[in-house]
Structure 1
Amino acid sequence: MPNPDPGRRNESSRRAVLTATLDLLQEVPYARLSIEGIAARAGVGKQTIYRWWPSKAAVLFDAFLLLSETSSGESPRLPDTGDLRADLALVLKATAAELDDPRLSEPMRALATEVAHDEALAASYHERLDAPLRDAKRQRLRSAQEAGQLADDLDLDVAIDIIWGPVLNRWLQRGPVTDEYVDALLDTALSGLRPRRPAP
Structure 2
Amino acid sequence: MSTAQNRERPRRSERSRQAILAATRELISESGYAKVSIEAIAARAGVGKQTIYRWWPSKGSVIFDSFLALSESGDGTGIELPDTGDLEADLKLVLRATAAEFADPDFERPIRALNTELIHDPDLAEQYRDKLARPVDDAKKARLRSAQQAGQLAADADLDLVLEVLYAPLFQRWLLRTGPLTAEYADSLVDITLRAFRP
TM-score of the pair, normalised by structure 1: 0.92
**Partner of residue 60 from structure 1, selected from 63, 78, 93:** 63
Once the two structures are TM-superposed, the CA of residue 81 in structure 1 deviates from its matched residue by: 0.4
Aligned counterpart, 2:138: 135
Does 170-179 or 115-124 show the bigger shift?
170-179
Helix, strand or coil at the partner of 1:68: coil
Aligned counterpart, 1:192: 196
Does 171-180 or 135-144 show the bigger shift?
171-180
Letter in 1 for 2:162: A
Q: Which whole-Å CA distance do the structure 2 matches of 1:26 and 1:145 have between them?
A: 41
Letter in 2 for 1:184: S
Task: Tell me whether 1:13 sits opposite 2:21 in the alignment.
Answer: no
Task: Tell me whether 1:149 sits opposite 2:168 in the alignment.
Answer: no
Aligned counterpart, 1:182: 186
Once the two structures are TM-superposed, the CA of residue 70 in structure 1 deviates from its matched residue by: 3.9
Would you identify which runs of 4 or more consecutive aligned residues in structure 1 move more than 4 Å? none
Aligned counterpart, 1:198: none
Deviations 1:136-156 (A, max 9, x none): 100000000000111111111
Task: Tell me whether 1:37 sits opposite 2:40 in the alignment.
Answer: yes
Q: Which whole-Å CA distance do the structure 1 matches of 2:194 and 2:117 have between them?
A: 33
Q: Which whole-Å CA distance do the structure 2 matches of 1:59 and 1:69 have between them?
A: 18
Once the two structures are TM-superposed, the CA of residue 102 in structure 1 deviates from its matched residue by: 1.2
Q: Which whole-Å CA distance do the structure 2 matches of 1:152 and 1:27 have between them?
A: 47
Deviations 1:10-50 (A, max 9, x none): 11111110001111112212101010010011010001111
Letter in 2 for 1:183: D
Count residues in correspondence.
Answer: 194
Helix, strand or coil at the partner of 2:69: helix
Task: Tell me whether 1:107 sits opposite 2:110 in the alignment.
Answer: yes
Once the two structures are TM-superposed, the CA of residue 124 in structure 1 deviates from its matched residue by: 0.5
Q: Which whole-Å CA distance do the structure 2 matches of 1:15 and 1:166 have between them?
A: 34
Q: Classify 1:33/1:170 alpha carbon distance in 2 versus 1 (closer, same or farther; 3 Å).
A: same
Q: Which whole-Å CA distance do the structure 1 matches of 2:98 and 2:112 have between them?
A: 14
Q: How much is the aligned-residue C-alpha RMSD, in angstroms?
A: 1.5
Task: Tell me whether 1:92 sits opposite 2:95 in the alignment.
Answer: yes
Task: Tell me whether 1:27 sits opposite 2:30 in the alignment.
Answer: yes
Once the two structures are TM-superposed, the CA of residue 119 in structure 1 deviates from its matched residue by: 0.5
Q: Which whole-Å CA distance do the structure 1 matches of 2:174 and 2:110 have between them?
A: 13
Does 181-190 or 116-125 show the bigger shift?
181-190
TM-score of the pair, normalised by structure 2: 0.93
Q: Which whole-Å CA distance do the structure 1 matches of 2:72 and 2:65 have between them?
A: 10
**Partner of residue 50 from structure 1, selected from 53, 62, 65:** 53
User: Which consecutive residues of structure 1, in runs of 5 or more, have no partner in the other structure?
Assistant: 196-200
Asked whether the 8 Å contact 2:67–2:111 carries over to 1, the reply is yes
Does 73-82 or 99-108 show the bigger shift?
73-82
Once the two structures are TM-superposed, the CA of residue 69 in structure 1 deviates from its matched residue by: 2.6
Aligned counterpart, 2:121: 118
